A and B are shown apart, each in its own frame.
Chain A
């Protein structure tokens, strides 16, 4: 059933089950996202898609909030732009993100989001945590220094490949991506080496072994292709 809502003063028609993000995208309205990836479920982890909804005294993530009839949404206010700037600066300060020596330099969604949000520097003190790199898998690597805990890889592994090798261990700033029960990736009995996690990663945290600075490119549309093929029996290339 169709519903009508207002986004940035524009009347938008959307399906009952749509999220604010989906309704906005269909109407050509841009909302910044980082943990969202077409083909995967949404978890509202990164908070970049927070929007203002009239009548709500808190901000709501557009990716996990269902539309309602008559909803009035603002996606690009001074307050939201300010919060998004703080969010991206916090992400850069939290772990060791060095674009200059990163495999994903030039193909990184976090890097391009920083540009989009107008980040010139981080106002937060850098944490410089001591983090490892798991190179035990013969084809792929996992660099925790570059991970932003968006959990796209976890969802790709679980929802598309069905292996659920990857998951999250620990809480808050100490949260990490783990393989199985925390064993080296190369020893995982559940990993099928399909590489869907690598395709899903927005930064340089997951990469193909042997790729050097700025060499890591990805075709993220493949995940959505697989999901549509499986669920709707449509092979849309």
Chain B
């Protein structure tokens, strides 16, 4: 048997729905586990993004400075980067803060913590604990080259399976038709 595919999944600015849909693969996850080695994931206890990753699925948009750093590391260390779900592909719901002010996160924080608060409105700040928001939420391909896009909010499990199955077999997934391409 050939070497197992080294697979990473990453959770940036998103709701985790894409990962939930991934878990909806149900019993096929056993087949997947036999074919891949999960080297980094929100559901695996790994602290730093490893080297030599074959395929990285990125859920979520780039929303804070930690994300910016992480996607650059991912690109350096991954053979193939996949934008996994609408937030990674387009910004989607995560980017809905951008129209408030697409050049500053301050307006967004004020909107969330001051305008909408009834008691002691203030923006929480504690340096070094929560990564600062970037001014504008971006899709992953705005920062790094992306090799494959899986739209969907979330991508349905059969769509994820079709992509992973093809990648495991060394094929390029055919992203054609509503079953593979529908946004939302």
Contact = CB atoms under 8 A, between A and B. Distances in A.
B149 A120 contact: yes
Interface string A75-104: 000000000000000001000101111100
Contacts of A225: none
A105 B184 contact: yes
Interface stretch (B1-9, B21-29, B98-106): B98-106
Contacts of B59: none
A125 B182 CA distance: 20
Nearest to B178: A115
A131 B99 contact: yes
Contact of A120 (B98, B100, B175): B175
Main SS class of interface, B:
mixed
Contacts of A214: 184
B83 interface: yes
Contacts of A100: 86, 92-93, 153, 183-184
B136 A115 contact: no
B184 A106 contact: yes
Interface residues of A, number: 26
Interface string B75-94: 00000000100100111110
B139 interface: yes
Given A114-B181, A128-B136, A121 B96 contact: no
A129 B101 CA distance: 9
A106 B152 CA distance: 12
B141 interface: yes
A121 B90 contact: yes
Interface of B: 83, 86, 89-93, 95-96, 98-102, 136, 139, 141-142, 146, 148-149, 151, 153, 175-178, 181-184
9 contacts: A96-B99, A100-B86, A100-B93, A100-B184, A114-B181, A115-B181, A118-B175, A128-B99, A129-B99
The 5 A-B residue pairs with the shortest CB-CB distance, nearest first, are: A99-B184, A100-B153, A128-B98, A120-B149, A99-B183
